[in-house]
């Protein structure tokens, strides 16, 4: 596989040129969150025969959120699980490594160097299920979108997203570890950057990884850019990664905000934000993509095979 670096605007133009049908989309209603928004959800997972969603629960005028777990109680309706644990995190995610449930999110705290700013880090938990989760490692300060994915030979690929002097506005890195015990800040900081994805003015990150039958990892990601007025534009995207030789394909946008239901926005600059949460295979080439929209709502959309070879 050979990746070709393209500006987000070019990726978007390619998406528009091939997007020919109106996709089915629905909002998800959350019961028990009171007056708070629920957004930037992970895809549903099964627990004791129930469909569960982890969501970012947050007041409209705040960045301080709590991740809570909701159980499906009707079509497109999820109700808070009253005895489930809660976490003072943003943007939940999960995966399974050797049969173990791995859960995480982003923790924010005051920036010691700037009283008016926040810093963040990715926190990881492990357990049999949501009730037995224990914290086991944190990522580096100021790094979101760290994700893990098991390989066919029982190794673990680690996808990172450094920002700043290394990584610019946000670039994907990758490294491999043998066990969860090997995951550390040093390992994450030393991940090799995938330089063929983002132009200097753009950014992106991995949101979830899915091991394929051929051993490749299909990655759900996002790409993003600013417009001339400071508005943010986030698009769900995908690419393929081969653990055998660490080759990877180009990014491909798979959805945009206008395909989802109209709704509210946390701020004016966040109207065109779609934050990738996860994918569920429905049947044949049909998938359901779960996302946060405009930083205040949660929705899904049905799309065709999102992991085409590029």
Question: Is residue 257 helix, strand or coil?
Answer: helix
pTM for the model:
0.96
What the block records as the tokens of 52 is: 């569960």
In the numeric block, the tokens 């705290």 are attached to 109
CA-nearest of 214, 220, 206 to 307 is 220
Residue 135: strand pairing partners: 125
Burial of 20 (C-beta count, 10 Å sphere; 0-12/13-18/19+) = exposed
Cβ partners under 8 Å of residue 222, min gap 6: 204, 205, 207, 234, 235, 236, 237, 274, 275, 276
Cβ proximity of 72 and 43 under 8 Å: no
| Per-residue tens of pLDDT for the chain, all 310 residues | 788 888 999 999 999 998 866 789 999 999 999 999 999 999 999 999 999 999 999 999 999 999 999 999 999 999 999 999 999 999 999 999 999 999 999 999 988 888 788 899 999 999 999 999 999 999 999 999 999 999 999 999 999 999 988 889 999 999 999 999 999 999 999 999 998 889 889 999 999 999 999 999 999 999 999 998 999 999 999 999 999 999 999 999 999 999 999 999 999 999 999 999 999 999 999 999 999 999 999 999 999 999 976 5
CA-nearest of 310, 277, 309 to 293 is 277
For 247-257, b/e burial (b = at least 16 CB within 10 A) is ebbbbbbbbbb
């Amino acid at each position: 596989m050979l990746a070709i670096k393209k500006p987000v605007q070019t990726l978007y133009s390619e998406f528009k040129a091939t997007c020919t049908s109106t996709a089915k989309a629905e909002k998800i209603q959350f019961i028990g969150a009171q007056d708070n928004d629920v957004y930037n959800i992970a895809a549903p997972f099964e627990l004791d025969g129930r469909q569960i969603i982890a969501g970012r629960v947050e007041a409209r005028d705040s960045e301080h959120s709590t991740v809570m777990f909701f159980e499906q109680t009707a079509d497109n309706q999820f109700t808070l699980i009253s005895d489930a644990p809660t976490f003072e995190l943003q943007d939940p995610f999960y995966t399974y490594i050797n049969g173990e449930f791995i859960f995480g999110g982003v923790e924010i705290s005051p920036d010691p160097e700037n009283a008016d700013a926040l810093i963040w880090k990715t926190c990881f938990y492990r357990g049999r299920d949501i009730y037995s989760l224990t914290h086991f490692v944190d990522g580096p300060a100021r790094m979101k979108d760290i994700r893990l994915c098991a390989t066919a030979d029982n190794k673990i690929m680690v996808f990172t997203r450094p920002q700043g002097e290394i990584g610019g506005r946000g670039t994907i890195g990758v490294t491999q570890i043998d066990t969860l015990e090997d995951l550390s800040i040093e390992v994450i900081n030393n991940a090799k950057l995938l330089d063929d994805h983002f132009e200097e003015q753009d950014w992106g990150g991995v949101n979830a990884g899915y091991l394929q039958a051929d051993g490749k990892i299909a990655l759900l990601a996002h790409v993003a850019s600013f417009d001339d007025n400071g508005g943010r534009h986030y698009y769900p995207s995908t690419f393929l990664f081969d653990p055998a030789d660490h080759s990877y394909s180009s990014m491909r946008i798979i959805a945009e905000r206008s395909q989802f239901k109209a709704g509210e926005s946390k701020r004016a600059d966040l109207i065109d934000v779609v934050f990738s949460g996860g994918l569920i295979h429905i049947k044949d080439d049909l998938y359901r993509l779960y996302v946060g929209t405009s930083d205040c709502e949660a929705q899904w959309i049905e799309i065709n095979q999102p992991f085409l070879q590029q």
